[in-house]
Amino acid sequence: MKLNRVLILLCASLTLSNIVCAEAPASKTVVIIAYDTMKYSVTKIEAQPGEKIVVELKSEGNMPKEVMGHNWVLLKAGVDPLGYCAAALSAKEEGYMPKTMAGKVLASIPLLGPKESGKATFTAPTVPGSYAYVCSFPGHSQAGMLGALIVK
């Protein structure tokens, strides 16, 4: 009789944990390659609200960081990506990620040089919509080094 109670409790516990796990948002890893051509290999990331996301940025270029560094900056909804990059022009000492605009950033990967990589782990916003991401190194976003996180 005692064994039956233990089995019932164990089964109930396993069933409950499966329900909790099934309801938790999945996680995904996205690898983005940055090239000397000022392009990201991935320009669209789709996510569910609240989904855990890991973005890995790999700089596969050969030019020095001082002239062809790459970063990855995910902006909050409604933030103008080109406006952010314009402000970043005067933030060289901050890796082209101005501290005055930190409140407009959801996640970021600092400036990388050739053959370097970095990661950002974050939770997708719970509000569906489009969230821009950019390389804020001077001229890169204007050349097309940007993309969007689409939360559905």
Tell me the per-residue pLDDT of 72-123, one tens digit each, with 9 for 90 and over. Answer: 999 999 999 999 999 999 999 999 999 999 999 999 999 999 999 999 999 9
pLDDT of residue 27: 84
pLDDT of residue 8: 45
- For the chain, percent of residues with pLDDT exceeding 90: 82
* 48 has a pLDDT exceeding 70: yes
- Of residues 126, 96, 93, the one with CA closest to residue 108: 96
pLDDT class of 21 with cuts at 50, 70, 90: very low
The Cα–Cα gap between 55 and 135 comes to 14
Query: What backbone torsions phi and psi does residue 4 show, to the nearest 5 degrees?
Result: -60, -40
Type of residue numbered 10: L
pLDDT class of 2 with cuts at 50, 70, 90: low
Q: Which CATH class is domain 25-151?
A: mainly beta
Handedness of CA 35, 147, 97, 56 (dihedral sign): negative
pLDDT class of 57 with cuts at 50, 70, 90: very high
pLDDT of residue 9: 44
Residue 113 near residue 64, CB atoms below 8 Å: yes
Residue 71 near residue 63, CB atoms below 8 Å: no
> What's the pTM?
0.82
Sheet of strand 52-59: strand arrangement: 27-34, 52-59, 117-123
The Cα–Cα gap between 21 and 16 comes to 9
- The mean per-residue pLDDT over the stretch 115-132 comes to 97
